[in-house]
């Protein structure tokens, strides 16, 4: 039973530096279960660094990030990554077939996926079962990104971190991914933190938006509030391209 | 007791200098501007080899196990330093190379001696160790460089695997296999063609020294097998030690801080 009052992710006073350069300053953020939150900001503002802390691809300081109330540093890192899936801008598929890619993480855990399981996972990513046998190297950008989504879903994660997954896609493929993620939230109750720089994407998918500027949270709220035509919010200024 | 240079073969050595003189003449005639380098290299080779000849003579006469081990340690140290320099860009390349070459050479030489194939005498162990350590050095630098290139070039796939819950070893495994393959290929290929294209050094030396070709091939077969073993041991140790340097204990790519 999900405690709806307990945030899925709670970030408290997260600061991060690399090679002596500060990347994140005192970031506070919370995401409720089943919520889709978009993270906006100019290049180099720390969006991807923040995202990578949530599944510990980058190590955050202790007592700064909590998943369902637990400090993620206290969790087994491999279990954490199975609970919190990630899709990158580049699909980075492995050599082999689509089925090989989707079965990758269950195989690491000693489970063999049946073709029915693979078909189910493909269906979640809106791909027909016939794709299972296709060589991963021969897919289009949009198809490859869907396979990387199905590959992440094979772990049955509660949450997804999306690092500009539509950044390299054409508009039709991009819209298709939005619909798929919205469907996954409806059907699986997935919590999603989504880094993007497409305002149309934000308006379409986000329940709430955080704006990161120079590693600091500069604004927060629902997109229809932050981005309405008469908005005085800095997010609207950013959306108008005046902060880049 | 020092042996002196056997002067009866010196005229042959000096006559061979005629080849160097011819090479220098060709260089001058074709304006290659290499004659100074050819002459310097020839003098250096003469002095270095005479010096090593005296040193080996001294060590062979002494036949002291501690002295043999000291020589092996110096050879391994130089090989580790050289391979570490070639593998620059891989984290802690020097330390990794020294450890991997020490492991590969010690295991190979240990097996050769304990199985009774060679005796632990200076005359047998030092030339054999030279071949084993030199070969291990080449394998180590090839494998280390390849692991570095694979991990850097495949970082999106490796991070994708880590994000799916793979350990560092699992995420890097397909690319490590490629690296080990590239390190082993030269010695395996040379074993395939040995004797067909050129006679290898150890065999040539024995035949020139008056041994029968059948005696010489026996030694050469042992040498080939030994080098294949040394390549595998060193290659595996290099992979094992190198890829770990790219991952943190929490299975993150890149050593931070």
User: Which residue's entry shows tokens 């027909």?
Assistant: A128
Q: Do B163 and A104 touch (CB under 8 A)?
A: no
Q: pLDDT digits over B19-42, tens only?
A: 999 999 998 998 889 989 999 999
Same domain (yes/no): B181, B87:
yes
Quick check: is B9 in a domain? yes
Same domain (yes/no): B45, B143:
no
A16's enclosing H/E stretch is strand A9-18
Same domain (yes/no): B97, B83:
yes
Whether residue A116 contacts residue A108, with contact meaning beta carbons closer than 8 Å, is answered with no
Name the burial class of residue B40, with classes exposed (0-12), middle (13-18) and buried (19+) by CB atoms within 10 angstroms of its CB: exposed
Nearest CA to A38 out of A125, A124, A147, A164 is that of A164
Which SS3 state, helix, strand or coil, does residue A233 take?
coil
Q: Do A59 and B252 touch (CB under 8 A)?
A: yes
Quick check: is B98 in a domain? yes
Strands A9-18 and A159-163: unpaired
Number of H helices, E strands in chain A: 10, 10
Quick check: is B255 in a domain? no
Q: How far apart, in whole angstroms, are the C-alpha atoms of residue B247 and residue B228?
A: 29
Smallest Cβ–Cβ distance between B250 and the set A59, A90, A109 belongs to A59
Which SS3 state, helix, strand or coil, does residue B97 take?
helix
Ranges in chain A, pLDDT < 50:
1
A152's enclosing H/E stretch is helix A141-153
Phi, psi for B83 (deg, rounded to 5):
-65, -35
What pLDDT does residue A193 have? 96
Q: Which residues contact B149 (CB under 8 A, 6 or more apart)?
A: none
Q: Do A90 and B165 touch (CB under 8 A)?
A: no
Same domain (yes/no): B17, B41:
yes
Q: pLDDT digits over B192-250, tens only?
A: 888 787 778 888 888 888 999 998 889 889 999 999 999 999 999 999 999 899 999 99
- Model ipTM? 0.93
Same domain (yes/no): B163, B118:
yes
Chosen for mutation from A72, A76, A89, A104 (greatest number of chain B CBs closer than 10 Å) is A104
Token pair for residue B142?
A: 């090839």
Confidence of residue B255 (pLDDT cuts 50, 70, 90): low
Smallest Cβ–Cβ distance between B252 and the set A57, A82, A108 belongs to A57
Q: Which residues of B touch A92 (CB under 8 A)?
A: 156-157, 159-160
Q: pLDDT digits over B84-142, tens only?
A: 998 888 889 999 999 999 999 999 999 999 999 999 999 999 999 999 999 999 999 99
Do you know the residue count of chain A? 244
β-sheet bridge partners, residue A36? A192
Same domain (yes/no): B104, B141:
yes
Q: pLDDT digits over B62-96, tens only?
A: 889 998 999 999 999 999 999 999 888 888 999 99
Same domain (yes/no): B68, B58:
no
Q: How far apart, in whole angstroms, are the C-alpha atoms of residue A113 and residue A105?
A: 10
Domain end marker among B44, B62, B80:
B62
Q: How far apart, in whole angstroms, are the C-alpha atoms of residue A219 and residue B129?
A: 68
Q: Do A92 and B162 touch (CB under 8 A)?
A: no
Q: Do A56 and B250 touch (CB under 8 A)?
A: yes
What pLDDT does residue B1 have? 45
Same domain (yes/no): B47, B70:
no
Q: What is the 3-state secondary structure (H, E, C) of B122-146?
A: HHHHHHHHHHHHHHHHHHHHHHHHH
Same domain (yes/no): B236, B129:
yes
Phi, psi for A36 (deg, rounded to 5):
-110, 115
Q: What chain A residue is nearest to B249 in terms of C-alpha separation?
A: A77
Nearest CA to B152 out of B98, B90, B85, B215 is that of B90
Whether residue A235 contacts residue A227, with contact meaning beta carbons closer than 8 Å, is answered with yes
What pLDDT does residue B257 have? 33
Chosen for mutation from B163, B169, B171, B252 (greatest number of chain A CBs closer than 10 Å) is B163
Mean pLDDT for B10-18 is 87
Same domain (yes/no): B95, B51:
no
Smallest Cβ–Cβ distance between B160 and the set A58, A92, A95 belongs to A92
Helices (H), chain B: 10-29, 35-62, 65-86, 93-114, 122-153, 155-163, 168-193, 201-208, 213-245
Chosen for mutation from A54, A56, A158, A164 (greatest number of chain B CBs closer than 10 Å) is A56
Q: What is the extent of the structural domain holding B186?
A: 64-245
Residue A243: alpha-carbon gap to chain centroid: 24
What pLDDT does residue B3 have? 59
What pLDDT does residue A230 have? 82
Whether residue B135 contacts residue B224, with contact meaning beta carbons closer than 8 Å, is answered with no
Nearest CA to A106 out of A65, A182, A157, A68 is that of A157
Q: Minimal Cα–Cα distance from B188 to chain A, Å?
A: 26
- Give the neighbor-by-neighbor strand order of the sheet with A216-221: A84-87, A159-163, A191-195, A36-40, A208-213, A216-221
Q: Which residues contact A30 (CB under 8 A, 6 or more apart)?
A: A7, A9, A10, A11
Is residue A57 within 8 angstroms of chain B, CB to CB?
yes
Mean pLDDT for B45-71 is 89
Same domain (yes/no): B51, B168:
no
Quick check: is B225 in a domain? yes
In the stretch 97-136 of chain A, residues with CB closer than 8 A to chain B read 104-105, 108-109
Domain residue limits, chain A: 34-43+77-239
Is the CATH number 1.10.10.410 carried by domain A34-43+77-239? Answer: no
Same domain (yes/no): B58, B73:
no
What pLDDT does residue B11 have? 85
What pLDDT does residue A2 have? 52
Q: Which residues of A touch B159 (CB under 8 A)?
A: 57, 88, 92
Nearest CA to B231 out of B100, B113, B98, B111 is that of B100
Q: Do B157 and A94 touch (CB under 8 A)?
A: yes
Q: Which residues of B touch A148 (CB under 8 A)?
A: 160
Quick check: is B206 in a domain? yes
DSSP labels, A158-211: SEEEEESTTTTS-HHHHHHHHHHHHHHHHHH--EEEEE---HHHHHHH-SEEEE
> Which residues of chain B have a Cβ shorter than 8 Å from any chain A Cβ?
156-157, 159-167, 170, 174, 248, 250-253, 256
Structurally, how many domains does chain B consist of?
2
Q: How far apart, in whole angstroms, are the C-alpha atoms of residue A212 and residue A44?
A: 10
Quick check: is B253 in a domain? no
DSSP labels, A91-120: --PPSSBHHHHHTHHHHHTT-PPPHHHHHH
């Amino acid at each position: 039973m999900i405690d709806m009052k307990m945030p899925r992710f709670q970030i408290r006073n997260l600061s991060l530096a690399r090679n002596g350069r500060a990347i994140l300053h005192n970031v506070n953020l919370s995401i409720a279960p089943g919520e889709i939150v978009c993270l906006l900001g100019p290049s180099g503002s720390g969006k991807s660094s923040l995202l990578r802390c949530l599944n510990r691809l980058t190590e955050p300081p202790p007592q700064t990030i909590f998943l369902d109330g637990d400090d993620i540093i206290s969790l087994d890192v491999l279990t954490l990554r199975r609970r919190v899936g990630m899709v990158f801008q580049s699909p980075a598929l492995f050599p082999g077939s689509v089925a090989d890619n989707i079965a990758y993480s269950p195989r690491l855990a000693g489970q063999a996926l049946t073709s029915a399981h693979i078909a189910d996972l493909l269906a979640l990513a809106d791909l027909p079962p016939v794709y299972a046998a296709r060589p991963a190297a021969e897919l289009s950008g949009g198809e490859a990104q869907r396979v990387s989504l199905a590959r992440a879903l094979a772990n049955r994660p509660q949450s997804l971190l999306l690092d500009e997954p539509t950044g390299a896609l054409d508009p039709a493929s991009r819209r298709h991914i939005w619909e798929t993620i919205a469907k996954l939230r409806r059907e699986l109750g997935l919590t999603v933190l989504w880094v993007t720089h497409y305002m149309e994407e934000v308006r379409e998918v986000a329940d709430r938006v955080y704006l990161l500027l120079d590693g600091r949270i500069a604004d927060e709220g629902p997109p229809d509030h932050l981005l309405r035509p008469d908005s005085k919010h800095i997010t609207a200024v950013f959306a108008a391209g005046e902060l880049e | 007791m020092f042996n002196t240079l056997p002067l009866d073969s010196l005229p042959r050595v000096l006559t061979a200098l005629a080849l160097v003189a011819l090479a220098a003449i060709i260089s001058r005639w074709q304006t290659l501007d290499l004659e100074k380098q050819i002459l310097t290299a020839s003098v250096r080779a003469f002095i270095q080899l005479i010096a090593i000849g005296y040193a080996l003579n001294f060590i062979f006469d002494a036949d002291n196990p501690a002295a043999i081990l000291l020589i092996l340690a110096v050879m391994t140290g130089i090989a580790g330093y050289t391979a570490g320099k070639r593998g620059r860009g891989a984290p802690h390349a020097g330390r990794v190379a020294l450890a991997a070459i020490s492991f590969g050479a010690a295991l190979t030489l240990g097996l050769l001696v304990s199985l009774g194939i060679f005796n632990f005498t200076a005359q047998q162990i030092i030339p054999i160790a030279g071949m084993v350590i030199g070969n291990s050095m080449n394998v180590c630098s090839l494998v280390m460089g390849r692991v570095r290139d694979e991990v850097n070039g495949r970082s999106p796939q490796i991070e994708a695997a880590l994000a799916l819950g793979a350990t560092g070893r699992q995420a890097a495994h397909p690319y490590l296999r490629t690296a080990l393959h590239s390190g082993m290929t030269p010695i395996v290929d040379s074993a395939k063609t040995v004797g067909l294209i050129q006679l290898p050094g150890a065999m040539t030396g024995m035949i020139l020294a008056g041994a029968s070709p059948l005696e010489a091939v026996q030694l050469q077969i042992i040498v080939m097998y030994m080098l294949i073993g040394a390549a595998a041991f060193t290659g595996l140790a290099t992979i094992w030690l190198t890829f770990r340097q790219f991952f943190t204990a929490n299975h993150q790519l890149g050593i931070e801080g």
